[in-house]
Amino acid sequence: MGRTNLDPIMTFPDGSHLLISTAYSKEGSFSCALYMATIAADDQGSFRVLSNHATASTCLVAQEDAYSYARRLYPSSAESMKKPPYLIWPGPGPTGNADV
């Protein structure tokens, strides 16, 4: 999946997780993606992309858009979802590797 940040929004009763990833582009915009993650007993993870959201001019706007979409996807769980702000990953460094 490459290197990215994943911040949990909520955990479902079956143990799966709804995650959000926020990235910053060199053009000065932000974008978010929602993932469903399940972790098996042997610690193998499975990630499924639920949505990719268009870029926004600010990090918070991108995250609020993704959060709003997550609430529409899972209305019965909306009250237990973690609200923005979430972690962000600035993207690869000048060499193409993540700055650590």
Give the model confidence (pLDDT) of 11-69 as tens digits.
999 999 999 998 888 788 888 999 999 988 888 889 999 998 878 999 899 999 999 99
Tell me the residue ranges of DSSP E strands in 1-100: 7-11, 17-24, 30-39, 45-52
92 assigned to some structural domain:
no
Tell me, yes or no, whether 94 lies in a domain.
no
The whole model's pTM is what?
0.80
- Is residue 93, in this structure, part of any structural domain at all? no
The two three-digit tokens of residue 7, written as one number:
């911040």
Q: How far apart are the C-alpha atoms of 37 and 96, rounded to whole Å?
A: 26
Range of the domain at 31: 7-80
Instruction: Give the H/E segment covering residue 47.
Output: strand 45-52
